[in-house]
Amino acid sequence: MGCTIIGCGKALPALDVDNNALATLVDTSDEWIASRTGIESRRIASDETSTDLSESAARQALGWSEGGYAERVVDASEIDLVIFATISPDVMVPSCAGLLRKRLGLSNAAAFDLNAACSGFVYGLSVAESMMAACAPNVAGAKGRNPIRRALIVGSERLSRITNWDDRNTCVLFGDGAGAAVVEWNQDRAGILSSFIANEDDPSNALTCPAAYDSPVPFDADGVNNDARSNDRSLTSIDEELGIAQLIAAGEPRQVLRMDGPKVFKFAADAMATAVFSALERADLTLDDVALVVPHQANERIIKYAAKKMGRPLDFFQVSIAHRGNSSAACVPMTLADTYENGRIKPGDIVVLVAFGGGFTSGAVVYQA
């Protein structure tokens, strides 16, 4: 028996921003962006919230609305768990998972958010499968755990809210969107065969986005009220740890993504191949057994480099970056929905989902459709 994907869906904001529009903001061009990233346009959420997008994707995955892929219509009462992967939540409390649970009427579901950056959906899928396996029939201690038979895993982002639109090195890369998948424990199907998640240190702070807090403590170190609300020493300490203190002091916005592209590229290309091979080894499989790899969509060059490293042609991978850009935790589930929409995954196929992101995080899941 195994944890089987029975539905997936995706949702994109209405606003489509092409490379020429970005060229009016920063010193760049359509040719420069497309040739270096494979991105021609991206969707930007000017009206939609992350929860709005996640709801649309989830309804497709549950079989409640048109679009996406669903083996059957799943009743709201059947969902026992909601995991919402994001680095750009609409709110801190309640969780976005809690907001989505309420909107969809998932009254039996436990719900929480997860932050593993661009690897978030893969991490979420791995967590859900582990929790389901822990309460499966005939597992020691299963009666003492939440009974989880079906789960909704979502990746949803509004990276446009944490993008520095004056930085041409990053603003050309990111977009918004949401993807979702429904999994269930099925004793008659193999489902997820293995998973691999890992972290590496980011010693040079190649990819960061600090939080901005608007209510600093109004006391000095001795507990005296000195109206020092603009002098939050804890934020200064974090800025120094991330190596951005001078940038903030010079007036740069705090809560924006900052990236050292070459260093992230080097990590990502190696991490993708490592994650795929590690997950396949755990499943006692090789690349020859795999029908398709569904990768995180950060940069087409990274996917091409990984393809070369694995000795496979580019069409061995689903590439969907051209009109979406990098939407962090939403990339893998949206790309997975593309593969079903395009008929690239058939029953019995072995599929690998793989991602990498800030942290540095990486991970892969091998499953049989």
Would you call 118 a catalytic residue per the annotation?
yes
Look at residue 227 and give its three-state secondary structure: coil
326 catalytic residue (yes or no): yes
Per-residue DSSP letter, 87: S
Contact 184, 3 (CB under 8 A): yes
Interatomic CA distance for residues 178 and 9, integer angstroms:
8
Question: Residue 222: what are its φ and ψ, rounded to 5°?
Answer: -95, 5
Residue whose token pair is 């489902």: 191
Catalytic residue among 19, 115, 299, 326: 326
CA geometry: angle 349, 352, 357, nearest 5 deg: 160
Q: Of residues 96, 296, 299, 331, which has the active-site annotation?
A: 296
Residues 335, 318 contacting (CB under 8 angstroms): yes
Using alpha carbons, select from 66, 54, 40, 61 the residue that is nearest to residue 12: 54
H/E stretch holding 81 reads strand 81-85
Choosing from 118, 135, 171, 209, the catalytic residue is 118
d(CA 47, CA 328): 19
Per DSSP, helices labelled H in the chain are: 19-22, 30-37, 50-61, 96-104, 120-134, 168-171, 233-241, 245-249, 261-282, 300-310, 331-341
CA distance 77 to 54: 19
β-strands 176-186, 81-85 pairing? unpaired
d(CA 313, CA 244): 40
DSSP-assigned states of every residue in 329-361 = GGHHHHHHHHHHHTT---TT-EEEEEEEETTTE
How many CB atoms lie under 10 A from the CB of residue 287?
Answer: 15
Q: Which residues are catalytic?
A: 118, 296, 326
